[in-house]
């Protein structure tokens, strides 16, 4: 229960600038983003051990660029196979096909392993991760937030990255409107006799009311989809018998499954937090948005929430954040989350059964013959189409979007933009570095050796383009990085060529 500090009650010592609740992919990514900028962070996680098995089979799209922009893509990809994702990628069951080859990327890095790697990275940067701490209460005042659990803790800000059932969201009184479940999906990671798995299309078969994916060590993940039974008790533990019965009902066959290593259920309930911020409390990841994992956008969306919030919180704590910067977290990420709900809800309809849906799928299939539509859907499912408002900047096709992969000729040789972003600071690529003099303490200025229509290009720490091809980048620098340091010489606008 949310509680207020009583008069005279001892205020607990601050343990960190920021407390993050939940050591899933979002919380761990945010912890690293904050540590990268020297912010003290404690992550509170109720599980005493990392989960051995977890939901996502991999991640794709913009999440991979994000890992690259922090130097994590190469080490996280080591030893993983290249997947011909264009063969399998679909939108609501409609295969996108070979025309998407090279435009879709997917790393088959399972969530449990991703969390191990992210946790090791966050710890190496100096984040403290306290396991076995379940948050059960919080109170906030003008100076900070007190968290209640096994022992009270205090920080200046709190971020709830505690998943779809988020205690932080409820304790902060943030509404979670959306749609009730209509479908119940049951899944099990089980062994099947090799011959049976082989019969099921070499281990990968999309079935009308479920699907099956071959995993490691002879395991398959089998998922069934049925109408949500009214009054269903989801607190009852999931069993192998329940999965077997569901397979029998949906597929009309009896599959000889054994040795389940993970059994679970999920639904197509689709909800979004009405606010991503309540005072000093923020929400990120599944705590802020839940949806059917159609196309697997969950980790990507949570990671982008973390990338967006991390530098803004750090700037606020460092004292240079321009007014209102923290509020742009909601104004930028809420619409992005809404798009994910729109995409997954549309896919949930397309994945349904019956003649009218078959007609809709046929129509969508026809529309996807058009390259522009196909690419638009590809950008949507990969999170490449989140365009943030960049006030005062002249329109440009790249403005506000995630920066595309670019290489810059510098005096030290060719440098990829993703590498330039690794320190977690904003990057200005320009032929006139003197323009950025007052912001050097918060900005990496890269002097380009060649003239390009894109220069000067200002990229925020989260990889979004804040100004492009505008001869004077200083208003954009002031918008995102605050007031320039006064004692550094400034160049007058009329001196700009």
Q: Which stretches of the chain bind ligand FAD, using CB under 6 A?
A: 21-27, 44-47, 55-59, 111, 134-135, 161-163, 167, 187, 266, 285-286, 293, 296, 298-300, 302
CA distances from 274 to 27, 84, 219, 271, 343 (A): 20, 38, 40, 9, 18
Select 304 or 479, whichever has its Cβ closest to ligand FAD. Answer: 304
Residue 202 falls in which region: left (phi positive, over 0), alpha (psi -120 to 50) or beta: left
Select 342 or 493, whichever has its Cβ closest to ligand FAD. Answer: 342
- Cβ proximity of 21 and 299 under 8 Å: no
Select 381 or 390, whichever has its Cβ closest to ligand FAD. Answer: 381
Give the C-alpha separation, 427 to 420, whole Å: 7
Residue 279 falls in which region: left (phi positive, over 0), alpha (psi -120 to 50) or beta: left
- Phi and psi at residue 415, to the nearest 5°: -130, 135
Q: At closest approach, how far in Å is the CB of 219 from ligand FAD?
A: 15
Q: At closest approach, how far in Å is the CB of 46 from ligand FAD?
A: 4
Strands (E), 23-177: 41-45, 59-60, 90-91, 94-95, 106-107, 128-131, 137-140, 145-148, 153-160
Select 58 or 144, whichever has its Cβ closest to ligand FAD. Answer: 58
Select 144 or 285, whichever has its Cβ closest to ligand FAD. Answer: 285
Tokens of 227: 């109408």
Give the C-alpha separation, 340 to 362, whole Å: 23
Q: At closest approach, how far in Å is the CB of 43 from ligand FAD?
A: 9
Q: At closest approach, how far in Å is the CB of 455 from ligand FAD?
A: 34
- Please enumerate in sequence order all residues whose Cβ is within 8 A of that of 449, keeping only pairs 6 or more positions apart, or say none: 409, 410, 411
Q: At closest approach, how far in Å is the CB of 221 from ligand FAD?
A: 8
Select 378 or 456, whichever has its Cβ closest to ligand FAD. Answer: 378
> Is 341 strand, coil or helix?
helix
Select 288 or 399, whichever has its Cβ closest to ligand FAD. Answer: 288
Give the C-alpha separation, 447 to 474, whole Å: 16
Q: At closest approach, how far in Å is the CB of 36 from ligand FAD?
A: 18
Select 32 or 300, whichever has its Cβ closest to ligand FAD. Answer: 300
Give the C-alpha separation, 225 to 242, whole Å: 13
271 CB-contact burial (10 Å; exposed 0-12 / middle 13-18 / buried 19+):
middle
The one-character DSSP state at 371 is H
Select 228 or 320, whichever has its Cβ closest to ligand FAD. Answer: 228
Give the C-alpha separation, 90 to 406, whole Å: 28
Q: At closest approach, how far in Å is the CB of 168 from ligand FAD?
A: 7
Q: At closest approach, how far in Å is the CB of 162 from ligand FAD?
A: 4
Q: At closest approach, how far in Å is the CB of 288 from ligand FAD?
A: 8
């Amino acid at each position: 229960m949310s509680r207020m500090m009583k008069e005279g009650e001892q205020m607990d010592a601050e343990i960190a600038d920021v407390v993050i609740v939940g050591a899933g992919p979002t919380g761990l990514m945010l912890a690293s983003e904050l540590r990268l900028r020297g912010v003290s962070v404690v992550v509170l996680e109720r599980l005493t051990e990392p989960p051995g098995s977890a939901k996502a089979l991999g991640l794709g799209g913009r999440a991979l660029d994000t890992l690259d922009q922090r130097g994590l893509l190469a080490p996280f990809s080591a030893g993983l196979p290249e997947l011909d994702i264009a063969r399998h990628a679909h939108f609501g069951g409609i295969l996108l096909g070979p025309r998407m080859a090279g435009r879709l990327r997917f790393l088959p890095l399972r969530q449990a392993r991703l969390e191990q790697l992210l946790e090791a990275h966050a710890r190496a940067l100096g984040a403290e991760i306290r396991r076995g701490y379940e948050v059960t209460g919080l109170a906030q005042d003008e100076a900070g937030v007190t968290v209640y659990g096994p022992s009270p803790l205090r920080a200046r800000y709190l971020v709830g990255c505690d998943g779809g059932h988020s205690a932080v969201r409820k304790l902060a009184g943030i509404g979670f409107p959306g749609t009730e479940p209509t479908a119940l999906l049951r899944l099990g990671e089980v062994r099947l006799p090799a011959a049976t798995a082989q019969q099921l299309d070499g281990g990968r078969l999309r079935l009308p009311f479920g699907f099956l994916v071959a995993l490691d060590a002879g395991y398959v993940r089998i998922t069934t989809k049925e109408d949500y039974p009214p009054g269903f008790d989801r607190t009852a533990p999931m069993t192998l018998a329940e999965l077997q019965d569901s397979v029998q009902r949906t597929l009309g066959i009896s599959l000889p499954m054994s040795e389940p290593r993970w059994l679970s259920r999920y639904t197509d309930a689709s909800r979004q937090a009405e606010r991503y911020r309540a005072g000093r409390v923020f929400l990120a990841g599944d705590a802020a948005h839940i949806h059917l994992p159609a196309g697997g956008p969950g980790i990507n969306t949570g990671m982008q929430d973390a990338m967006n919030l991390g530098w803004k919180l750090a700037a606020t704590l460092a004292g240079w954040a321009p007014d209102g910067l923290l509020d742009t977290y909601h104004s930028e990420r809420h619409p992005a989350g809404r798009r994910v709900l729109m995409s997954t809800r549309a896919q949930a309809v397309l994945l349904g059964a019956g003649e009218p849906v078959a007609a809709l799928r046929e129509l969508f299939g026809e529309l996807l013959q058009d390259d522009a539509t196909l690419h638009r859907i590809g950008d949507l499912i990969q999170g490449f189409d989140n365009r943030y408002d960049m006030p005062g900047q002249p329109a440009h096709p790249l403005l506000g979007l995630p920066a595309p992969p670019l290489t810059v000729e510098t005096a030290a040789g060719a440098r990829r933009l993703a590498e330039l972003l690794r320190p977690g600071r904003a990057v200005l690529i320009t032929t006139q570095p003197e323009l950025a003099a007052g912001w050097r303490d918060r900005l990496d200025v890269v002097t380009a050796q060649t003239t390009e229509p894109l220069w000067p290009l200002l990229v925020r720490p989260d990889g979004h383009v804040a100004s492009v091809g505008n001869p004077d980048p200083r208003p954009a620098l002031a918008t995102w990085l605050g007031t320039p340091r006064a004692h550094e010489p400034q160049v007058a606008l009329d001196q700009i060529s």
